[in-house]
Chain A
Amino acid sequence: MNFNGLRLLLFLFFCLPNLAAAGLAERVQEHRFANGLTLLVVERHDSPTLAAYITLRVGSVDETSENRGVAHLLEHMLFKGTKTLGTKDYRQEKPLLEAIEAAGAEYDRLRLAPQPNARRIAELEAQLQTLQEQRRQYDVPQEVAELYAKNGGVGYNAFTSKDLTSYVIELPANKLELWAAIESDRMSHSIFRDFYTERQVVMEERRRSYDTNPDGLLYENLLATAFTLHPYRHPIIGWMSDIDHLSLEKTRAFHDRYYVPANTVIALVGDIDFAAAKALVERYFGKIPAGMPTPPIVADEPEQRGEKRTAISFDAEPRVMIAYHKPTLPSREDYIFDLLNGLLGEGRTSRLYQTLVVKEQQAANISTFTAPGSRYANLFVISATPRAPHTSQEVETAIYREIKRLADEEVGAAELERVRNRLRVDFLRHLQKNSALAHMLTYYQTVAGDWRYLVRYDEELASISPAEIQAAARRYFTPENRTVITLARTGGGE
């Protein structure tokens, strides 16, 4: 249940050849239920398997300072069973769950008091421990995981990003009804068992992904520096103190507000029949009240008016990330940046790789990507590791030189066509696996508002001229619009 926003976005760079676009447009079958739930189906009968994606249009960007980290913690809580699954007797268990919540809320409140009462806090901690152990007598631990496993499910998982939350599984094709029954139950009747223990798990996840990981730390600092106001600045998982004080009450409120059919897209890809799938989804999800779609957030990142720069001290070899603010889809600039990404950083013939890694050999690795989300204006990021004895500073200088070339000279037609072709063929590759296709469909339906964004993508891309690319490079690749984060050992390395 870990989501790496960076990886997803790397994974999602592609576009659509006309041929495949036409093919996809005909093969995706769609239904919108009365309660607003959207179902997308692609029938594919080669293997008797299916991939199921449920994507909710809510992510960490929809949090406030009152509940940072809740989208991700809630995702964890959806793995704790329901009123029927995961318990021997929910009615008997319920009073204990209530007592645990009361003790936990008191424990959290006291820890924030101006003069914490250490004795009382320790008592509550012990009480919480006892209550949790008592509750365990009713536990059927991980019963959903067990049911899916027994029925041949693989990849039972979930991902929270800045923009959305997805719950995924692949099953033998004859288990569609089992999936519908379990997932509709999870959506409506989840019980957040072991909440205080799971907070600890998420803190361990945070230590693993950020606090002991130089790449995670660098990326987290990049976002926190590049954005002044916009919630994209906060880590999806939350800051440590956020996680440590998230309450059951806030988690439940977030669930009730956002986990509703009006906010949900389901994609089923595999050896299934559309009509039968539609009927099953209607039967199991159709009665859930519609709820309200996630509203747009208010925060509007002010224009950056000067370079931002942070140097991180950490026990690791040097590395550097550089980011530029840019608009998001469906703006024309977003398509232009997909091309800029291909020109600069995709593959061994890309400009940054050729110059920094092959010719000048100042960097061991270099990559470019868009982050951290796509519902709101985002960043174009360049990430590099210098090759000793070269420094991050030398690498930075070489990168700016290469970027300036894009502003000074128009890109040649052949190079541009090569980048477009790469995007087209990579898109085809993403259609090969049921799970990747299900992922793409729910992603674009959620973020762009319509999966047909994919069908129209190639046409838009083909219409972009070298002059437009040059203009965008001039406009966005400026020192004023730039954030630079370096990481190195204190006093050493560089």
Chain B
Amino acid sequence: MKKISYLVCVLSVLLVGCSAPPFRPDQISTPPLHFAVPQIEPIILTNGIRVYLKEDHELPLIQLTVMAPGGAIDDPAEKVGLASLLAKSLRTAGTASRSADQVDIDLEQLAADFSVSADTYALTLDLSLLTTDLASGLNLLQEVLRTPAFEVKRLELARKQTLEAIRRQNDHPQAIASRALLQAIYGDHPLGRTPTEATVTAISREDLLAAYQKSFSPEKLWIAVSGDFDRKQLLAGLEARFGSWPAQQPVPRILPPLVGGSAGVVIHGQKDLPQSVVMLGQVGIDKGTPDQHAVRVMNFILGGGGFNSRMMKEIREERGLAYSVYSHFQVGRLLPGPFIAQCETKSSTTIEALKLMLAAMETIREQPVRAEELHIAKESLNNSFVFSFANPHEVVTQAMRLDFYDYPDDYLESYRDKVEALSLADIQQAARDHLQPERLSIVLIGNEQGFEAPLATLGFPLERLVTP
């Protein structure tokens, strides 16, 4: 193909004597890329802790990530915010042998970065330090994991900071929209709830201890390490510090089943601002959804592919209605995650932007995408696949996460083939199965007086959000 185009070019110059057609960057030939999915095999310590290792000696740094089951999905309805407060306390409230202040001083002495976070399904600890400080870092990690102190003063400080964040939760209109939408999609379910002053105040130190004990024991612990270490020494170091920690009988994880949210409504929150947040969504997919590759490609074309997506082209590029516009399927690790689409637009184009987003969803349901669109999406996903492995710590934490959530063994190996095999019909079917106008919840945060049309004209039942 390449040769032919050169030949044509040369011939046209010789025979006709006119200038060659302008050179185009897409005519450049590309040498092959040599790349294989890195294989990381877990090592299991005597008490069941699973360890994933990737050595990389370029810089004198080591990164560790520890995962344990837990997270907001387990928060009781009257104690929403428990997992988040547990994470903050693990980080800031000391250990049996070191005061909270001492932990901070020791970490700073090492210039170490240490954080603990809670997401929906897991608690994650991240530690980054110099090679020379590995032993000190492991000592500290062992204390935090095995003997956290939950010092009352620090625990109360973490609670006060959380309460202040709740006081500030309406400062940004995007944050209001996001909370309202998740609540509308998931209703009274952990995936739809957010912490309030009452739920955060209701959390006791005993609740934190109980949540800690539920999440942390060796058979539930996963550790990924990358960087400048010696494999044998590191494993010996982990055994020495964690080996005496007895494993417990595994308990199966029970997840609260989804409940109905408020689909098919428009929720409006009044804010006297010159720009509205337009956000809409519905229950989406989880990692077991059989057509997840088709959903990913479909969403790339709809609103996930940046400048190559329809929403971006139609709403930003052609009409100048928004700076940012996107759609996204957050693939749920265990339960279905949300599908969300969002943009911000001036008050007087709020309804127009919303209608264009809805129309884009309708079109991808009703008509097959163009073959060229499918081609771009597939090429993009498959050719950028190599970036999932560009950084050693990403390689090792990804391997750990896939096992932690029990992904199929061939998930990465088969990914590109599954994308490549998708047809136009697969994409349309995915749109029909996963974008359903009647299941959508719509949130508008903005100044209703400035909208170009009354909300009633949208034809959805209207709910009013109480915002301060």
Residues of A bordering B, CB below 8 Å: 2, 19-20, 44, 46-49, 79, 83-85, 136, 141-142, 145-147, 149-154, 156, 170, 172-175, 177-178, 181-182, 185, 194, 196-205, 207-208, 211-214, 315-317, 347-349, 357-358, 361, 364-365, 385, 387-388, 418, 421-422, 424-426, 428-429, 431-434
Contacts and interface: CB of A to CB of B under 8 A. Distances in A.
Interface residues of B, number: 76
A317 B35 CA distance: 51
B318 A201 contact: no
Contacts of A142: 307-308, 312-313, 317
B173 A212 contact: yes
11 contacts: A20-B59, A49-B386, A84-B23, A142-B307, A150-B379, A194-B318, A199-B320, A204-B321, A214-B171, A348-B104, A432-B61
A418 B108 contact: yes
B205 interface: no
A213 B344 contact: no
Contact of A315 (B272, B317, B324): B272
Given A200-B320, A204-B320, A208-B324, 10 more contacts: A47-B386, A136-B318, A141-B318, A170-B387, A200-B319, A207-B275, A347-B108, A348-B108, A349-B104, A425-B129
| Residue of B105, B172, B386 with highest tally of chain A CB at under 10 A | B386
Contact of B164 (A173, A208, A388): A388
Given A145-B308, A418-B109, A385 B380 contact: no
Interface stretch (B24-32, B141-149, B285-293, B361-369): B24-32
Given A46-B58, A205-B323, A317-B167, A387 B161 contact: yes
Contacts of B26: 147, 178
B313 to A, nearest CB: 5
B317 A421 contact: no
Interface stretch (B230-238, B389-397, B453-461): B389-397
B376 interface: yes
Given A149-B308, A364-B165, A207 B344 contact: yes
A250 to B, nearest CB: 19
Nearest to A205: B323
B60 A153 contact: no
Contacts of B23: 84, 181
Contacts of B312: 142
Contacts of A2: 323
Closest 8 A/B residue pairs (Cβ): A152-B383, A200-B320, A145-B307, A181-B25, A425-B111, A205-B323, A149-B380, A207-B275
Contacts of A20: 59
A141 B386 contact: no
B33 A387 contact: no
A83 B22 contact: yes
Interface string B23-54: 11110101111110000000000000000000
Given A149-B308, A197-B318, A47 B389 contact: yes
**Majority DSSP secondary structure for residues of B touching A:** mixed
Given A201-B323, A211-B275, A149 B305 contact: yes
Contact of B108 (A48, A205, A361, A422): A422
A154 B313 CA distance: 18
Interface string B259-296: 00000000000011111000000000000000000000
B274 A207 contact: yes
A275 to B, nearest CB: 15
Contacts of B56: 46
Contacts of B170: 316
B224 to A, nearest CB: 15
A433 B28 CA distance: 28
B25 A182 contact: yes
A426 B305 contact: no
Interface in B192-221: none
B140 interface: no
Nearest to A145: B307
B24 A152 contact: no
B22 A434 contact: no
A394 to B, nearest CB: 14
Contacts of B318: 136, 141, 194, 197
Contacts of A211: 273-275
| Residue of A79, A211, A348 with highest tally of chain B CB at under 10 A | A348
Contacts of B157: 357-358, 361
Nearest to A182: B25
B316 A48 contact: no
Contacts of B320: 194, 196-201, 204
B384 interface: yes
Contact of A429 (B128, B172, B324): B128
A421 B111 contact: yes
A432 B62 CA distance: 11
| Residue of A151, A153, A388 with highest tally of chain B CB at under 10 A | A151
A207 to B, nearest CB: 4
A285 to B, nearest CB: 14
Contact of B160 (A178, A208, A387): A387
Contact of A149 (B109, B172, B273, B379): B379
Interface string B156-180: 0100110011011011110000000
Contacts of A361: 157, 160
Contacts of A203: 346
Contacts of A201: 316, 320, 322-323
| Residue of B25, B157, B165 with highest tally of chain A CB at under 10 A | B25
A2 B344 CA distance: 14
Contact of B273 (A136, A198, A212, A385): A212
Nearest to B372: A146
A364 B161 contact: yes
A174 B323 contact: no
A437 to B, nearest CB: 11
A356 to B, nearest CB: 12
Nearest to A133: B318
Given A208-B323, A208-B324, A422 B387 contact: no
Contacts of A317: 167-168, 171
B176 to A, nearest CB: 11
A388 B167 contact: yes
A432 B391 contact: yes
